Amino acid sequence: MTTLTTENKETQKQVIEKVYSPNVNVFENKENVTIIVEMPGVDQSSINLNVEKDTLTIDGQFQYDASTFGKSVSQEFVGGKFERKFTLGKLVDAENARAKIKNGILELTLPKVEPKKTKIEIQS
Partner 1 sequence: MLFRILDNPGRTNPFWRDFDRFNEEITKSILDSQFGNLRSFPPVNIFSKEEEALVSALLPGMEIENIDISIKDNHLTIHGKKKTEDLAEGTEVHRREIFSGDFTRTIELPFRVNQEKVQAKYTNGVLNILLPRREEDKPKKITINFE
**Min. distance of Cβ 122 from partner 1 in angstroms?**
37
Task: Return the sign of the alpha-carbon dihedral for residues 48, 34, 37, 92.
Answer: negative
Residues 78-107 that bind partner 1 (CB under 8 A): 82, 85, 102-105
Q: Of 30, 53, 90, 117, which lies in the binding site for partner 1, with binding defined by CB under 8 A?
A: 30
Q: Which is nearer to partner 1, 1 or 16 (CB)?
A: 16
CB-neighbour burial class of residue 49 (10 A; exposed 0-12, middle 13-18, buried 19+): middle
Instruction: Give the separation between CA 108 and CA 48, rounded to whole angstroms.
Output: 12
Q: Which is nearer to partner 1, 83 or 93 (CB)?
A: 83
Cα-trace Rg, the chain: 23
Residues in touch with partner 1 (CB under 8 A): 16-30, 36, 38-43, 64, 66, 69-77, 82, 85, 102-105
